[in-house]
Structure 1
Amino acid sequence: MADNTTQTEEYVQLKLVINEESNKVLFAEAGKDFVDILCSFLTMPLGTIARLLQKDSNMGQITIGCLNSLYQSVVDLDKRYLWTDSIKELLLKPKNSSEDYCSTLKLNIDDSQPTEYFICARNYFSSECRSCRNISKSTYYKCSCGSRFDRSFFLKRFCKGFVNSVATFVITDDLINIIPNSAAYTTFSLLKNLGIITSSTKEMAVNVTKEKVVDLLKCALVSKSPLTDVFLGKKPSIERSRFLTCNAENSSTIQITIQLVIRKSEGNILFAHGDQDFADLLISFLTFPLGGIIRKLGEYSSMGSIGRLYKSIAESVENQYFISEEAKNRLIDPLLASEYKSCSSILPIKEQCLNYYGYYQSESYRYRSNDPFFITDKHYKDGGRYEEMRLHNNKNPIKEGFVKGPRTYLATDDLVIGPASPISASLLINRLQIPVDDLKEKNVTIGMKECLSILNAALTSTSALTNGLGHLLSEVMEEK
């Protein structure tokens, strides 16, 4: 029988095939609604994931490496150290560049607000200002015609998830296989391919609620059997993520000089001092989409079943089952939201670049305030008459970076970040009760390889600096 849900609670149906002997999910059969939800995990920025990890659910709160402490340090960071008041919101509730694809999900667990746009309605619909084609993300600025941007719009979206509505899929417990449900993949052949030939199987229908989706995301990040853990009520078999040294080449011009404070007897980094570019580097991790990180880390990525989900989508699912080629690319090579363009030099994730179009029914309605008018970022061929719009005064809120400079910032091994001072450093050393003669300072310069290594270590361990920069500590270890 299906799970009991209240009549008002939205849900997505899922059919499970279970091995009764081991009480494990062998695979699930699902339609578009559920597969779209799984796909959406790869579009989420790390800041969104960190926020969802703290949400109450059946699983409780989950810790992923240093992600939780990095997110909390931004929560605790005084706004006076940030360039603008809006930056904190952009970090704690980062924009998803695929919000157009995710906005129609039946169960969308990302509660970030969609981007709001404004036009100067007074003149846009007036024959006195026919040349007005401006759009703004703020009411603070004035249009080129001198009027305020005072009419609010949300972009009209035409995307409907990621996969085709008529397709159904078979999904294995570890998410390594998301197979189109066709004649080529019968239940028997799937069981045989999985090495499971048994008569001890049963079917179970479940109703997947939004709370279950949150639990599924959490399990997918820490477990190799997320379907079993969530839907059979098992305690997640959390596997310690393996940190693999990232051997990426320094393919960019990033060069950041920092000072490491190392405990010689243990060979670990206690904390690092650096200018605002170092703090910006670490904080920018919160803006990166999960799928983009897995793409860049490749074989060095190790996070529960997420890497397997990515590989399954990239390699196993046939292109014809996506609504478009772009829909698949949004998952395996997601974009960095346009608000974070200054971050694109830190990790080479392509940035979002939008065009804007204003549509109206006909010329007779063109200059009426009650015109059925909408704005979109897609060239909607069947949408009637349209005009190209210009983004006016598009000042990037993070053009100068996230934190103010010039000043020094301190980051601990588990990525707690804050303004540095002799007092803050000495208090940290005293709290850890480490003798001063056991400490050593070392200045290092890090590039793309080290940036990716720190990011990988931050997702797989609670010692992001020690694991991420361990290859730079050989001299210190020799001094022991």
Structure 2
Amino acid sequence: MAAAATNTTQTETSVSLKLLLNEESNKVLFAEAGKDFVDILCSFLTMPLGTIARLLEKETSIGPVSVGCLNSLYKSVADLDQSCFCADTIKQMLLQPINFAEDYCNTLKLNIDDGHPTKYFACGYFNSHRSHDFVISTNKDKYKCHCGGSFSFLVLPKCFHQGFVNCIATFIITDDLKVMPNSVDYASFGLLQEFGIKNTSSVKEIVLNISKEKVLDLLKLSLLSKSPLTDFFLGKKPSIDVSRFFTFDVNFSGNIQIILKLVIRKSDGKVLCAQGEQDFADLLLSFLTFPLGGINRIFDENFALGSIGGLYKSIAKLNVNKYLISKEAKNRLVDPCIAPQIKLSNQILPILEPGVLDYSYDYCGNVYHVQCFKSGEDKSSVGNCRMKLSKYESIHETYLKNPALYVATDDLVITPLSPISALGLLNRLKTPLNDLKEKVVTIGIKEVLNILKAGLSSTSALTNGLAHLLTEVKEEK
């Protein structure tokens, strides 16, 4: 068994986790944990896919891991030339997307998101008696305040939240990361019987001190495995099950209409690549801004990425008055948003719209702090708010320059399209020209979501996500 899972240095911050292990089957039955650990699990749901892709590549005890096409999509953005983007800040914004719940996550005992915290800049005259504007740092040099002043006054985001769950609550966590309150409904002998424990002598209690590196391991395992606690304890590195993909029928409509030219291999019906304009490439890049919890909400029962679906559903069931610090904290987990400064103006998933945002500031410890609220959220925590600040929304019309053509491979590697690059792609794929067929298709919200789902559950996002458009292409051998 992986004794390494318990190793932390004496000076390193750690979080305690108590495991109940069945020694006969060498399997974790469940764990007991308090606020610190459950807050960490909750934070997984707030992370944008771009953040997760970056963390998956980090070296930990189980090494880097791959989740569907997410790694290749992320790497292709990193490899795109800066000249392809509409603004200098967009590439970095996609590689380190802002977490809309960062004010909740910044106070976690172990926060594995190594992205830079959001910076806000106010008008240099904003502490006068008149109302002034403020702006996200990515746009601070692009605009002027309505008074004519420049954005030169740094205002720090206020970390006033203390995680997500109640500080005195304790929880039971199953091997597949379902979180249950430690209440009379669960903390009983019936729970032991439910896990098939007949001989208590075969059950062993183990306490682990979990470091930040081990939290990274657990995030990776939660995306791949249906038994991440057992795999975590044993130090295993499972592979994602790519056989579970199936088409998703959407229950809401959208006005997305994107024309693509698919290059298909006739012999097996595989989509080798899709050629499209800037709107198609933007659509794929926007996947990196989607928070994991928001994707769970959209797909609901149709989302089968490791143990994340079970984690999401169990958090959604928690009584907000007993186990969460506020209704707003729960909303950030089960109804998360895309941060407004990284979203596209033509957002494909309206369910992730942030809605109206209010920004308020106060003065504490010789520093000005800003807070962000979704429409309808409780603002009583603002305290002595001196005034509301209007904000220039940094919503992007596009990520990439237009007009331009782009090509995306089946595993979502995106590159600019030219005759020479297309020839190079065919050479790499080693497919003869007489085995190729081109097909022009129009995709909408259903196809977009199927590509997203297939991209998280397989390495053939286009072939699986657009399978219903390819039925007549595959030829008999």
- The TM tier, using the shorter chain, reads over 0.9
Q: TM-score, normalising length from structure 1?
A: 0.91
Shift of 1:372: 5.8
1:108 equivalent in alignment to 2:90: no
Point out the more displaced range, 83-92 or 185-194: 185-194
Shift of 1:238: 5.1
Tell me the residue number matched to 1:365: none
Counterpart AA for 1:7: Q
Shift of 1:30: 0.1
- Aligned pair partner of 2:294 in 276, 285, 292: 292
In 2, the alpha carbon distance for the partners of 1:343 and 1:143 equals 22
- Aligned pair partner of 2:406 in 406, 409, 418: 409
In 1, the alpha carbon distance for the partners of 2:157 and 2:299 equals 33
Tell me the residue number matched to 2:389: 389
Tell me the residue number matched to 1:37: 40
Q: 1:302 to 1:241 in 2, by over 3 A?
A: farther
In 1, the alpha carbon distance for the partners of 2:218 and 2:416 equals 36
Tell me the residue number matched to 1:188: 189
Counterpart AA for 1:231: F
Tell me the residue number matched to 1:477: 474
Q: Give yes or no for contact 1:133–1:388 (8 Å, CA) kept in 2.
A: no
Secondary structure (helix, strand or coil) at the match of 1:302 reads: coil
Written as runs of structure 1 = structure 2, the 5 A alignment for 1:15-30 is 15-30=18-33
Written as runs of structure 1 = structure 2, the 5 A alignment for 1:37-436 is 37-121=40-124, 123-126=125-128, 130-138=129-137, 139-140=140-141, 141-175=143-177, 177-199=178-200, 200-236=202-238, 239-240=241-242, 242-249=244-251, 251-315=253-317, 320-342=322-344, 345-352=347-354, 353-360=356-363, 373-377=368-372, 379-380=379-380, 383-384=383-384, 386-391=386-391, 393-396=392-395, 398-399=396-397, 401-436=398-433
Shift of 1:28: 0.5
In 1, the alpha carbon distance for the partners of 2:272 and 2:368 equals 57
Shift of 1:395: 4.0
In 1, the alpha carbon distance for the partners of 2:239 and 2:287 equals 27
Q: 1:281 to 1:4 in 2, by over 3 A?
A: closer
In 2, the alpha carbon distance for the partners of 1:470 and 1:343 equals 29
Task: List per-residue Cα deviations over 1:278-325 (Å, max 9, x = no partner).
Answer: 101111110100111111122221111111111221235665211112
In 2, the alpha carbon distance for the partners of 1:385 and 1:435 equals 67
In 2, the alpha carbon distance for the partners of 1:356 and 1:57 equals 38
Shift of 1:250: 6.2
Shift of 1:420: 0.5
Shift of 1:153: 1.4
In 2, the alpha carbon distance for the partners of 1:345 and 1:67 equals 20
Secondary structure (helix, strand or coil) at the match of 1:159 reads: coil
Shift of 1:237: 6.7
Q: Give yes or no for contact 1:344–1:351 (8 Å, CA) kept in 2.
A: no
Q: Report percent identity of matched pairs.
A: 58
Point out the more displaced range, 132-141 or 160-169: 132-141
In 2, the alpha carbon distance for the partners of 1:191 and 1:439 equals 58
Counterpart AA for 2:193: K
Q: Give yes or no for contact 1:18–1:202 (8 Å, CA) kept in 2.
A: yes
Secondary structure (helix, strand or coil) at the match of 1:280 reads: helix
Counterpart AA for 2:387: E
Tell me the residue number matched to 1:366: none
Tell me the residue number matched to 1:446: 443
Secondary structure (helix, strand or coil) at the match of 1:17 reads: strand
Q: Give yes or no for contact 1:48–1:92 (8 Å, CA) kept in 2.
A: yes
In 1, the alpha carbon distance for the partners of 2:236 and 2:264 equals 41
Task: List per-residue Cα deviations over 1:152-195 (Å, max 9, x = no partner).
Answer: 111213221111000000101111x3111123322522112233
Shift of 1:119: 2.0
Point out the more displaced range, 20-29 or 370-379: 370-379
Counterpart AA for 1:70: L
- Aligned pair partner of 1:458 in 449, 455, 463: 455
Secondary structure (helix, strand or coil) at the match of 2:415 reads: strand
Counterpart AA for 1:454: I
Point out the more displaced range, 310-319 or 70-79: 310-319
Q: 1:381 to 1:287 in 2, by over 3 A?
A: closer
Q: What is the root-mean-square deviation in Å for CA atoms of aligned residues?
A: 2.1
Tell me the residue number matched to 2:376: none
Tell me, which stretches of 5 or more residues in structure 2 are unaligned?
A: 374-378
In 2, the alpha carbon distance for the partners of 1:238 and 1:464 equals 14
Q: Give yes or no for contact 1:414–1:463 (8 Å, CA) kept in 2.
A: yes
Task: List per-residue Cα deviations over 1:418-450 (Å, max 9, x = no partner).
Answer: 100111112211222212111111000000100
Q: TM-score, normalising length from structure 2?
A: 0.92
Q: Give yes or no for contact 1:413–1:462 (8 Å, CA) kept in 2.
A: yes
Q: Give yes or no for contact 2:344–2:399 (8 Å, CA) kept in 1.
A: no
Q: Give yes or no for contact 2:133–2:145 (8 Å, CA) kept in 1.
A: yes
Task: List per-residue Cα deviations over 1:298-355 (Å, max 9, x = no partner).
Answer: 2221111111111221235665211112211211121111113326631233322421
Counterpart AA for 1:334: P
The total of aligned residue pairs comes to: 464
In 2, the alpha carbon distance for the partners of 1:371 and 1:308 equals 44
In 2, the alpha carbon distance for the partners of 1:380 and 1:344 equals 33
Please tell me whether Structure 1 or Structure 2 has the larger radius of gyration of its CA atoms: 1
In 2, the alpha carbon distance for the partners of 1:240 and 1:3 equals 31
Shift of 1:115: 1.1
Point out the more displaced range, 33-42 or 418-427: 418-427
Q: Give yes or no for contact 1:244–1:301 (8 Å, CA) kept in 2.
A: no
